[in-house]
């Protein structure tokens, strides 16, 4: 009988020794072991991930990445930085989207900021504050159904096409357009830009300005910069050019500024 009890105890000990062990803590290979839940989880504290991260929504109607702000949030909600820690892209606590650096053909260049913001009728949330020290600061913001652009820090607001500036507003509100001054050589000129300064020669009653933007439907705007001596003047439109005509020959070389504008 004693031998039977002893044998039973030995067999029980062997069974316990070969039994399951406690689960290992979740680590880098825990997912492979099936120890990390695929369901919703809440993780506290700051985490650093050395490697790529892919986020896939749980369903077609689910949000892929949701960032919650705290009630007393003071820092940005989201920042993307380069290897030196410089912020390239951020979303502020107000929801303002800012791209740091000017956008060029080669990517982002330092020294400027472009912000997409909101406007409540008196302030642009996070777009610009009196404490901002940057000298190049631009903002695109909405006012109800309107979209507006702003430049701060004494900078120009420019519109470009293929890196060429066609329109510019300076910090004082002065508007400039791309153009050429040919008035030093009175008479016919070729200027393929929206604006220009040309001159009619003394003794002539017409001058032709060749312009690739000109059509029979453009609305040329012309301002005389001196007294040509004639009673009247007008513009004759054509495809690829326009002709400035006087009712009499010009009494002197007389300059005029012009801009060609289309009608929508």
Q: Which of 126, 159, 192 is the last residue of a domain?
A: 159
pLDDT band at 34 (very low <50, low <70, confident <90, very high): very low
Query: Phi and psi dihedrals of 17, rounded to 5?
Result: -65, -30
Q: Is the pTM of this model over 0.85?
A: no
Average pLDDT of the chain to the nearest whole number:
75
> What does the alpha-carbon distance between residue 246 and residue 186 come to, in Å, rounded to a whole number?
15
Beta strands at 146-152 and 137-143: parallel, antiparallel or unpaired: antiparallel
> What does the alpha-carbon distance between residue 65 and residue 74 come to, in Å, rounded to a whole number?
21
> What does the alpha-carbon distance between residue 103 and residue 113 come to, in Å, rounded to a whole number?
9
pLDDT in tens, 64-122: 888 888 888 888 888 888 888 887 778 878 777 776 654 444 444 444 555 555 444 44
Nearest Cα residue to 98 out of 141, 67, 133, 55: 141
Are residues 153 and 225 both part of a single domain? no
What are the structure tokens assigned to 31, written together? 């997912």
Are residues 84 and 118 both part of a single domain? yes
Average pLDDT (146-156) is 64
Lowest mean pLDDT: which of 6-20, 38-52, 78-92, 150-164?
6-20
**Residues, the chain:** 264
pLDDT at site 231:
94
Q: Is the pLDDT of residue 18 over 70?
A: no
What are the structure tokens assigned to 100, written together? 């740091």
Most confident of 25-34, 153-162, 171-180, 232-241: 232-241
Q: Which domain holds residue 187?
A: 178-259
**In a domain? residue 28:** no
pLDDT at site 25:
54
Q: What proportion of the chain, given as a percentage, has pLDDT over 90?
A: 30
**In a domain? residue 242:** yes
**In a domain? residue 225:** yes
pLDDT at site 239:
94
Other CB atoms within 10 A of residue 170 CB = 14
pLDDT at site 85:
83
pLDDT at site 222:
94
Residue 224 CA: distances (Å) to CA of 179, 220, 230: 16, 13, 12
pLDDT at site 206:
97
Residue found under tokens 């695929």: 38
In terms of pLDDT, which residue wins out, 262 or 254?
A: 254
Most confident of 39-53, 78-92, 120-134: 78-92
pLDDT band at 201 (very low <50, low <70, confident <90, very high): very high
Burial of residue 52 (CB within 10 Å: 0-12, 13-18, 19+) is: exposed
Are residues 151 and 182 both part of a single domain? no
Are residues 238 and 202 both part of a single domain? yes
**In a domain? residue 88:** yes
> What does the alpha-carbon distance between residue 99 and residue 90 come to, in Å, rounded to a whole number?
7
Q: Is the pLDDT of residue 4 over 50?
A: no
Residue found under tokens 């652009």: 149
Are residues 209 and 248 both part of a single domain? yes
From edge to edge, which strands make up the β-sheet containing 233-238?
189-190, 206-210, 241-246, 233-238
**In a domain? residue 49:** no
> What does the alpha-carbon distance between residue 161 and residue 69 come to, in Å, rounded to a whole number?
39
Are residues 122 and 191 both part of a single domain? no
What are the structure tokens assigned to 254, written together? 């007389």
Number of domains forming the structure of the chain: 2
Are residues 152 and 202 both part of a single domain? no
Beta strands at 221-224 and 241-246: parallel, antiparallel or unpaired: unpaired
Lowest mean pLDDT: which of 29-38, 51-60, 83-92, 151-160?
29-38
pLDDT at site 152:
59
**In a domain? residue 133:** yes
Query: Phi and psi dihedrals of 78, rounded to 5?
Result: -150, 135
| CA 80 to centroid of chain Cα atoms | 16
pLDDT band at 212 (very low <50, low <70, confident <90, very high): very high
**In a domain? residue 4:** no
Are residues 128 and 89 both part of a single domain? yes
**In a domain? residue 239:** yes
Are residues 100 and 133 both part of a single domain? yes
């Amino acid at each position: 009988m004693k031998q039977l009890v002893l044998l039973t105890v030995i067999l029980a000990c062997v069974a316990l020794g070969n039994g399951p062990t406690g689960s290992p803590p979740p680590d880098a290979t825990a997912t492979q072991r099936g120890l990390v839940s695929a369901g919703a989880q809440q993780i506290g504290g700051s985490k650093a991930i050395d490697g790529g991260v892919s986020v896939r929504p749980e369903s077609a109607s689910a949000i892929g990445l949701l960032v919650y702000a705290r009630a007393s949030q003071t820092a940005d909600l989201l920042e993307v930085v380069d290897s030196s820690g410089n912020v390239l892209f951020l979303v502020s606590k107000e929801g303002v989207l800012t791209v740091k650096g000017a956008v060029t053909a080669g990517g982002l260049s330092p020294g400027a900021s472009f912000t997409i913001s909101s406007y409540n009728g008196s302030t642009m949330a996070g777009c610009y504050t009196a404490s901002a020290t940057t000298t190049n600061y631009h903002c695109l913001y909405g006012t109800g159904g309107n979209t507006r652009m702003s430049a701060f820090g004494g900078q120009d607001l420019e519109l470009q096409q293929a890196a060429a500036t066609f329109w510019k507003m300076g910090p004082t509100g002065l508007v400039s357009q791309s153009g050429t001054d040919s008035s030093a050589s009175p008479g016919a000129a070729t200027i393929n830009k929206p604006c220009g300064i040309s001159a009619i020669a003394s003794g002539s009653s017409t001058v032709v300005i060749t312009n690739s933007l000109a059509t029979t439907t453009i609305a040329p705007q012309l301002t005389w910069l001196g007294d040509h001596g004639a009673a009247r003047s007008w513009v004759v439109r054509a495809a690829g050019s326009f002709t400035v005509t006087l009712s009499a020959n010009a009494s002197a070389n007389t300059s005029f500024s012009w801009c060609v504008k289309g009608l929508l």
